[in-house]
Every structure is written in structure tokens, then in C-alpha cells.
Amino acid sequence: MRYSSLFFLYITGGLVLLVLLLVHASFSESARQPVLEEKAALVKMLKLTDLCLFTEARYTRNLSQADLGTAFQDHPMSLEHFPSGSFTQPPESIRKFP
Amino acid sequence: MRQWIEKQRYIIDFTISSLLRRKVKNFGLLALYTLIVFMLASTMFFTYSIKKEASLILKDTPEIIVQKIVAGRHDLFPVSYIDTLKKIRGVAAVESRLWGYYYDGLVSANYTLLVPPANGDTSGKSRPSAKTTVVVSESGGQQADKSKPLFELGGAVLEPGTLITGNGIARLRDIGKDDYMPFRAFDGSVLNLRIAGALSSQSELVSSDLLLITAEDFRKLFGIDNRYVTDVTVAVNNPSEVEMVASKIRKALPEARPISRVEILRTYDSIFNWRGGMMIVIFSAAVLAFVIFAWDKASGLSAGERREIGILKAVGWETSDVIQMKFWEGAVVSLTAFFTGVILAYVHVFFTGSIVFEPALKGWSSLYPNFELTPFVNLEQLTTLFFLTVVPYTVATIVPIWRAATIDPDSAMRFTGE
Amino acid sequence: MIELMNVKKVFNAGNPSEFPALNSVNLTIEENRVTVLKGPSGSGKTTLLSIVACMSRPSAGRVKLKGREITSLPERFLTDIRRKTFGFIFQQPNLIKGISVLDNVMLPAYPLGEQRLHLKVKAMKGLAELNIANKAASKVEWLSGGEAQRASIVRALINDPHIIIADEPTAHLDTKLSYRFMEIIEKFKAEGKTVIITSHDPLVFESSMVDRVVNLRDGRIEDKPA
């Protein structure tokens, strides 16, 4: 087979697969709606404020609730707490200053 | 048109065979390129999905949370302040929250202890929460009649002496319903609580490390007086007045710190921001790699390539044909890398649970939620990725070829040695 | 018919290293003839050849191809003329390594977008005529010098040019292969093609099939045949 045919075959295959993945994404999006709603309901009922992404410290577990004035612990980006701190940003309320 | 297609196919044939001639170099390049696309696409898929999910999950988080700050630290909130808050115009309801952290030395994990509100729907807008398994008991008031169950969840009744665990804790400690969990209280005494049930595994993204406990046990465990709560939530009458109410709270209680829902949502909107430490490492690595590619390409053509272009021109290829050849060279490499990288990234993030990112995401926490991300992917993301990867590379391949235009066709006649 | 009028070529014009390669060359090359440009190295043979073959432009003077002025044409047209009119045989076979002989032979036809099936038949026919059809699929690295030379001849013929240009074709060939090459040239002549060869190999310019020998020295045509 010619190289160009192989190339176009590969690109077409990739494109088809990508479209299938997009279809998969939109299907699972609707399939997971109940799960999302369950989580939202739990948040509402328990009055939760944060995602349970980083459980290692209180200012990473409840990002939006961190007490920001504390010295040595709560740099706005919690950089000292690597790596989770590096994924986070200071909460909105103190980001108003440049 | 037919001729044009056939010509492009010839050029692609030739380009690919040229690429295959330097197998090691070009496959290495392709692998590196694919890896970059893979990392970028994985990052993009992951962050977009988690942000989208956060915004959906947290849409009903309390409108305003009011903390008390003492010497820059979050302090217990006096119950007496609640009346002050209730008097503020625009405030619909004020509810107290009791929550805190407990460090379990046995598994070196941090738990979040939380007293579920006595009344599930406190916002005043009694919208039935869809399809939830949560059943809320009819008892009212924080310090209500202790004989009645305060909270019920999927048949698990929460009463003094019991707790409901998040699924992550149950998994980590390998415990289940009716097992006992000992806690060391503030005064050194041991509190043995029976597990009444567990939160669903599907809700781990918000509940993995939660321990639901009664207010009575919570106060016993941490020695918190009845006059204090952790913080309070404030519901407002008119959602557009949140900011105004928050500033009124700040005036009425100068030591209080109100946090609005908008701020919470924005906090999660900016998580995994590209400016974050890890993200900048990934992105700068990608950018650097591109610079290296571009440098390699732009630093010109090797003697072999110049010679080859000379031959092509001598046998009748135009400059534009040579440029098309280089265009296809860039396009073949970058399109192949793009499709492979993006498809692998999708599989990585949504089928394998971001296995490559896991160590970084877990960080130092020993209690990490098991969660499946909902694939929020759209064409816009793919287009962005395309323009971030395929286009710069292809352009970087074509640019130096302008120099090839200066290679005279008769240069082929002047090669005397191989 | 190719006419050269007052053709000059200066390299590195304006620099201290300025070097006139051709000085006022007037030459007419007849159709269906074998013309040899002869001269010592540095005499401007290759420069003249590349101007004749539309590969480079003269610094001054005019070149007419079949009565058509071509010196002032833009590159696009020049390439088009070159592609359709001239077939090139270089001193070195100048084959592209790493691809098959067949692919090399078809290379000049790629930009024309001819159907691959037809092109392949044509290329195979050409290879068969020079007895290297059995090497079609092998890579050029594996060819002997003579085979590589023949492959490059097939490549020169793939677009069916009227004029064959050969630059020192026998420089890297032994006597036997050089004779073999001249036989091929004879065949071209029989087919009605015009052949222009640069050479200082007596075996070439003393050959019986050569119609005309042009002597070049220091960028000028010497009137008397040497």
C-alpha cells in the first residue's frame, strides 16, 4: 500500500475514534447525571463547601474556608504544601489585589 | 483536481519515505511529540472536567458562610452572634455548622468530622432534591430532643453513639456497618462510636473523608461548649443581594469573615489554573519542547537535506513543490502525534482515572477519593489543542524552507562527492 | 533549436571575489544533434550547460528556446519548461538514498500529478530498456556505479524530454561503461532527441556519433576546433 493511503487511513481512523470518544463523552455525561445530582444534593444537604481533592491539610481540604491570615501556613497558593498547593489558587476574596 | 490530489499523494508518499529514512530520529521525535500532546490533552481534559463538575456539584453550596477570625485564625463562632445576623435586612435564615478535622494516627489520615444539619433543606426554597436517597428526619432545631434520630441516610439512622463514614474512610480502614471506631477525645478519654452506615462511593468526590456525627458526640469529642459552633451559614432573600448582605455582616460583626458562594465557586474555577505550580511545569515543559523542535527545524537544513532539495529542483520540482513537501512533513508528524496523543489522553483521563497524574494529585494525603470524572469534552477544547500543537509545528517546519528557495537547481550539478 | 546571444555569467558580482564564468557566448545548438561542450575544468562548461537548461539565469544576454525568449520568464514558467523539455544526467547519479530505484526514477514526474499506474508502467518500461528492471524495488544504496548511472538516465527520460543534458557523464565510469553510455546516447539520437554533453573525455568527444564539438576556454568559445 502507498504511504499516503496509510497516512490517510490512519488520520481517518483517528478522526472516527475521536468522534466516537466525543459521542462516548456526551453519552456518559447524560448517564452520569443522576450521580452528579446525588453529589449536588449531598452538598446541599450537608452544607458542604469544598471538593474532597486534597485531604492532607485543612487549607487544602477546604480550600475556600482556609484561614488566610495565618503566618507560615497559608500562603495564598499554599506553595509550601507541594504538590497539592501548586494546583490551587488563592481564594477569590484575596485575589482582588494584584 | 484529480491531478492536484494525485500530486499531493505523490508528495506525501515521498515525504513519508524521507521520514522513514531517518527512522530513529523521526520516531523519537514523533514519540516525544505524542507525549507532549498527551500531557497537554490529559491536563486539559482533567482540569476542564473537574472544574465543570465542581461548578455543577457546588451550585447549591451555602450562599454565605460566616467565620469568626481571631488573631488571623479561624475561631469558634459564638451562638449569640446568630441573633445579630438574623436582624440584618435581607437575611432569610441563619444556620449553624459544626465541623472540624480529626487526625487518625493509625492510618495517618485527616478526617473531616461534620454534624449534619437537623433540617436538610434550610435555604427556604423547598425544591425537592432529585433522585437523592437522602431522607431527612422531621426533627427540628440543633439541640433538639435527643431521643429522636437526628439524621437518617439510606436507612442508616444517625443517633448519639453512632456515625456515618465516607466511603474513602471505610475503604482505608477496611471497616463497615456496625464496626466500631475509637476516637481520642480532647480530654484523653476514648470515644467508641458505632458505624451506622456509609455514604455512597459515587459521592466520594465530596464525601470521601467525611464522618457524619451527632452534635452531642461532636461536642463531647472536641470539648466544644454549647455556646459555640464552628461557623454559620446565611441564606439571603434575594440572591442578587449576597454581596450587600456580606458587607452588612462585615459591618455588624467586624471580626467575622463572610465567604460567599460566588467566591467558593470561583475558587474551584481557578483550581488547576495554568499559573499553578504543577501546571506551569507541565506547560513550560511543553513549550520548551516546542522551542527545541522549532529550533531544530529553523536552524536550517542539514547538508543532506540541502543536497536532496537541490536534486529535486534539478529534476524539475518547483520551489512551491518543495514547500508543499515540507508542509506535509510537518502535517504528517503533527497530525499523527495529535490524534494518537489526544486519544490516549482521553483513555487515560476517563478510563484509567488519570493514572499518570495520580501521584501528583494524591500528594501527601493518605486518604484520596476514588472518583470517576464525568467526561466533559467539547470541540472547542480539541480545537484549542489543535492550534496549540499541530499548527505551530507545521509552521516551524515550513519556515526554514524559504531558505531552500535559494538553493539553485544547478547546485545538483556541482556535487562532486557523495 | 537553442540560441544563446551574448550570454554572460558573473559569480559573486560586486564582491572582491567576483568571477566571470562566461564572457559573451554566442552559440546555436541544432535540434536532433549531439553537441559536446569541451574544455578544461573551470572553462565554464557546466555554467553554460546550466544556463542552456534553464537552471540558472545569465547575468546578461539572451537565451532563446525554439525561438522563444526564456531569460526573462519567472521561475514558475522556467521550471515548467525545464521539467517538460530537459532531461538531466549528472556527473554523479544524484539519486536520493533510502527510497527505491523505481521511486527515484518517478521523482521528476511527481509534481505533474500523473496517475500512478501509468507512471509506474512508463518507469518500468524505461528501466527494462536499460536492463535494470530487476533492480526496481531495491534501494539505490545497493546499486553498482553503472546501475546507478543507468537509473539516473531513466529518471532523466521519465517526462519524455526533447533535450537531454549530460554533465560529465563518463567522469565516474570505466571505459566499458563509458562505451555503454555512448550507445545509449546513440539510441537517443535515433529517437530524434537533442543531446548536449559536457566532457573532456576523448572517448566522448571523439565518438563518431557526436555531430559538433564546442571548445570552451576561460568562458569563451574558441573558434577553431582543437
Interface of B with C (CB under 8 A): 2-7, 9-11, 13-14, 17-18, 20-21, 308, 311-321, 408-410, 412-418
What is d(CA B225, CA B248) in angstroms, rounded to the nearest whole number?
28
pLDDT tier for residue B143 given thresholds of 50, 70 and 90: very low
* Res. B83 pLDDT band, cuts 50 70 90: very high
Number of B/C CB contacts below 8 angstroms equals 101
- B136 close to A (CB below 8 A): yes
A52 belongs to a structural domain: no
pLDDT digits over B61-78, tens only?
999 999 998 887 788 999
Indicate the pairing of strand B190-198 with strand B180-184: antiparallel
Residue A53 in domain: no
Question: How far apart are alpha carbons C63 and C71 in whole angstroms?
Answer: 6
What is the rounded distance in angstroms from the CA atom of residue C111 to the CA atom of residue B324? 10
Q: What whole-number distance in Å separates Cα of residue C69 and Cα of residue C47? A: 19
**Distance, CA of B210 to CA of A45 (rounded, Å):** 14
Say if A74 falls within a structural domain: yes
Tell me if chain A has a CB within 8 Å of the CB of B275.
yes
Query: Could A42 and B132 be called an inter-chain contact, meaning their C-beta atoms sit closer than 8 Å?
Result: yes
A41 in the same domain as A74: no
> How far, in Å, CA of C221 to CA of C213, rounded?
11
Kindly report the nearest CA distance between residue A20 and chain B, in angstroms.
10
Q: B9, A2: Cβ pair inside 8 Å?
A: yes
Report d(CA A44, CA B129) in Å as an integer. Answer: 9
Tell me how far apart the alpha carbons of residues C178 and C171 are, in angstroms, rounded to a whole number.
9
Distance CA B67, CA B75 (A): 7
Q: What is the pTM of this model?
A: 0.82
Residues in chain B with CB shorter than 8 Å from the CB of A46 are 114, 116-117, 207, 210, 212
DSSP string, C38-51: E--TTSSHHHHHHH
Task: Spell out the per-residue pLDDT of chain A, length 98, in tens.
Answer: 889 999 999 999 999 999 999 999 999 999 999 989 989 988 988 899 888 888 877 777 887 787 665 545 555 556 666 677 777 766 665 555 44
- The per-residue pLDDT for B195 is 92
Sheet architecture: strand order including C2-11: C19-29, C2-11, C60-65, C68-69
Domain that holds residue A77: 58-94
pLDDT at B79 over 90: yes
Question: Using an 8 Å Cβ cutoff, are B51 and B44 in contact?
Answer: no
What would the pLDDT profile of C54-77 be if each residue is shown by its tens digit?
A: 888 888 888 998 888 888 888 778
Q: Tell me whether residues B311 and C98 touch, CB distance under 8 A.
A: no
Domain boundaries, chain B: 2-56+271-414, 61-264
Q: How far is residue C70 from each of residues B58, B287, B293, B362, C57, measured CA to CA in Å?
A: 75, 48, 41, 72, 9
Parse chain C into domains and list their residue ranges.
2-222
List, as one string, the DSSP characters of B310-344.
Answer: HHHHHTT--HHHHHHHHHHHHHHHHHHHHHHHHHH
Cβ density class C44-78: b for 16+ within 10 Å, e for less: bbbbbbbbbbbbbbbeebebebeeeebbebeeeeb
| Contacting residues of A for B279, CB less than 8 Å apart | 86-87
Domain C2-222 has CATH 3.40.50.300: yes
Residue of C nearest to B308 (CA): C96
Distance from the B304 Cα atom to the nearest Cα atom in chain C, whole angstroms: 10
Neighbouring subunits of A (3+ Cβ pairs under 8 A): B
Q: Which of chain A's residues have a Cβ under 8 Å away from the Cβ of B277?
A: 77, 79, 82-83, 85-87
Considering only CB atoms, which chain B residues are within 8 Å of A11? 335-336, 339
Nearest to B233 among A24, A47, A95 (CB): A47
> Do residue A49 and residue B132 have CB atoms under 8 angstroms apart?
no
**Rounded Cα gap, residues B78 and C159, in angstroms:** 95
* Structure-block grid coordinates of residue A40: 449536588
CB within 8 Å of B186: residues ≥ 6 apart: B221, B222, B223
- As for how many domains chain A has, the answer is 2
Residues A15 and A37 both lie in one domain: yes
